[in-house]
Structure 1
Amino acid sequence: MAEPAIDPDAERAALGDRYFIRFEQDTLRQRPLWIRLIIEFLGTLVLVTVAAGSGVINHYVGNAPISRTAAVIAPGAVVMAMIYAWGPLSGLHINPAVTFAFAARGVFPVRWVVPYWVVQFAGAICAALFLQGMFGDVSTGGNYPITSSGGEWKSFVMEGVLTAILASIILNTATGGRSLGHNAAIAVGSTVALLGLFASPISGASMNPARTLGPDIVGNDYTGWWVYIAGPLIGAAIAVAIIGAVRGLPDKDELEAAEGGALPMTVTPTPESN
């Protein structure tokens, strides 16, 4: 008895279906913690290299060719780019205050907070070591309170206010699963830049303990260090309280955005081959 003829087009279609199902399963599979930590380390390293690099390079070459405007827009632009590229892999917190905010909101595993913090600070320190090795005097890329009377307290309040604004933007763009899309990349990146444009003369507009303490540790200059820990953490807590009051309990989309990527998908039956 002759075997039935095999339709090449049907066979190719079946192979294509199996490929795309496997691709979706690989893409949507819950990523292990070690992958997330690599992304958080690299992301923080890139952010601090850019954010602290302008001050270090200005000091190195002299005459301040990088303007204050460029120095605050650059970190916002690199955050925007990294959300597009790496957001689905870890949530791209790259900021201990953001990790704290997501955990306090109840959309990020508490057991992951310390590992995230460790690699974020490690990335910031490695970025500072790179700048120190390349150009020297990494302290010139640090953030410090204004030197006027009561400068540390004014800077502390400003860091709290700025972080509350930034964390509110991040938490609210995460709601509805938008953290991985265009809205979050543009909103978060532009917020980093805009807040720096008007507030950087007061405190440096750090909004990120790792960004400040990385250069401080390598440069051994801890001027006003408490401002850049207490201010961002209190600001993040304020943002969590605000979103809790106006939006209520978090939903599944927020959980997926905070952790990066999507939860494991239901396995789709593989089409039978002919």
Structure 2
Amino acid sequence: MRTMLRHCLLAEVLGTAILMVFGTGAAVVNEQTHALGHGGVAAAFGLVVLILIQGLGHVSGAHVNPAVTIGFWVAGRFPAQRVLPYVAAQLVGAAIGSSLVRLVATKGSMLGATLPAHGAGQAFGIEVLLTFWLMLVILRVTSGYYEQGLMVGLTISATVALEALVGGPLTGASMNPARSLGPALLSGNWTAAWVYVAAPIAGVLLAVLVDRLLELQTPPDKAA
């Protein structure tokens, strides 16, 4: 039985807010103390994603990411009428989370904003690649007999942590429009904000295409 929409939306608001508190919050804490390091911030993102999947996945799917919601919809695995409410809930959650992070941030902090290190063009390409791989992993591990169990959460969260570890210094490794728009809204820094909306959407669309290609099978009578 499908969970009632209001329960799903509450889970998405809460989940996205918590993602911001412990994800971008880790970046803000590291700005002030240098206690976590880049690896620590990447680990924080991976850990919070694991906790959200295990804690809220049975309620809303724990998308906490407009790009993921759009990806599931395009893949035919999410109802169209829920897309806009989910995206709105995620954006509200990101704003709430960033507001909470601002309470512990120093004056002038970017609140964990995602900013290109070497120009918008490179950032766009990197964010497309990162989001493509994240969405492809999500689609593969949530299909068939893989879709239940702790290993799903571990695989997705490990992907997030790995991509944050490698891509973070170049783009902030957002892969999530809500994650980028929350700090932008609260800090007022909209530098290359379009990249962090357009690139994740392009990435998930590419992932859905590749996922479908991976599902194609040669008819038995033409098999080699």
Q: TM-score, normalised by structure 2?
A: 0.92
Aligned to 2:210: 242
Does residue 33 of structure 1 match 2:5? yes
How big is the shift at 1:248? 4.9
Q: In the alignment, which of 162, 165, 168 is matched to residue 133 of structure 2? A: 165
1:176-255 equivalence runs, <5 A: 176-248=144-216
Q: Which residue of 2 aligns with 1:15?
A: none
**Which one of 111, 131, 142 corresponds to residue 101 of structure 2?**
131
Determine what percentage of the aligned residue pairs are the same residue. 33
Check whether the contact 2:9–2:86 (CA below 8 A) recurs between aligned residues. yes
Secondary structure of 2:26's partner? helix
Whether contact under 8 Å (1:87, 1:180) holds in the other structure is no
- C-alpha distance in 2, partners of 1:84/1:129? 25
Contact 2:64 2:90 in 1 (8 A): yes
Q: How does 1:1-274 map to 2 (within 5 A)?
A: 29-59=1-31, 61-62=32-33, 64-136=34-106, 137-146=108-117, 148=118, 151-248=119-216
Q: What is the identity, as a one-letter code, of the residue corresponding to 1:45?
A: A
Mapped to 2, the partners of 1:222 and 1:111 lie a distance apart of 30
Structure 1: state its 5+ residue gaps. Answer: 1-28, 250-274
User: Where do 5+ consecutive residues of structure 2 fail to align?
Assistant: 218-224
Whether the 8 Å CA contact 2:101–2:111 is kept in 1: the answer is: no
Residue 21 of structure 2 aligns to which amino acid in structure 1?
T
1:101-125: per-residue Cα shift (whole Å, max 9, x none)? 0000011001100000001010000
The answer to whether the 8 Å contact 2:116/2:192 transfers is yes
1:192-211: CA deviation from partner (whole Å, max 9, x where unpaired): 00111111111011100100
Max radius of gyration: which structure?
A: 1
How big is the shift at 1:56? 1.7
How many residue pairs match? The answer is 216
d(CA) in 1 for partners of 2:8 and 2:169? 34
Q: Is the 8 A contact 1:159 1:203 kept in 2?
A: yes
- Equivalent position SS for 2:122: helix
Q: Which amino acid aligns with 2:153?
A: A
How far the C-alpha of 1:55 sits from its partner, in A, is: 2.3
1:42-67 deviation digits (Å, cap 9, x = unpaired): 111111111211222233x34x2220
Note the alpha carbon deviations across 1:170-192, whole angstroms, 9 max, x for none.
Answer: 01111115334122101100000
Deviations 1:221-258 (A, max 9, x none): 10110110111000000000001111159xxxxxxxxx
What is the TM-score when the length of structure 1 is the normalising length? 0.76
Distance in 1 between residues matched to 2:44 and 2:170, nearest whole Å: 19
* CA distance in structure 1 between the aligned counterparts of 2:28 and 2:115, rounded to whole angstroms: 14
How far apart in 2 are the matches of 1:65 and 1:246? Answer: 42
CA distance in 2, matches of 1:153, 1:201: 15
Task: Tell whether the 8 Å contact from 1:179 to 1:185 is kept in structure 2 after alignment.
Answer: no
Give how far 1:31 is off: 1.2
CA distance 1:44–1:112, shift in 2 (3 Å) = same
1:125-181: CA deviation from partner (whole Å, max 9, x where unpaired): 0011111123244514111001x3xx2110110000000000000011111153341
* Counterpart code for 1:155: A
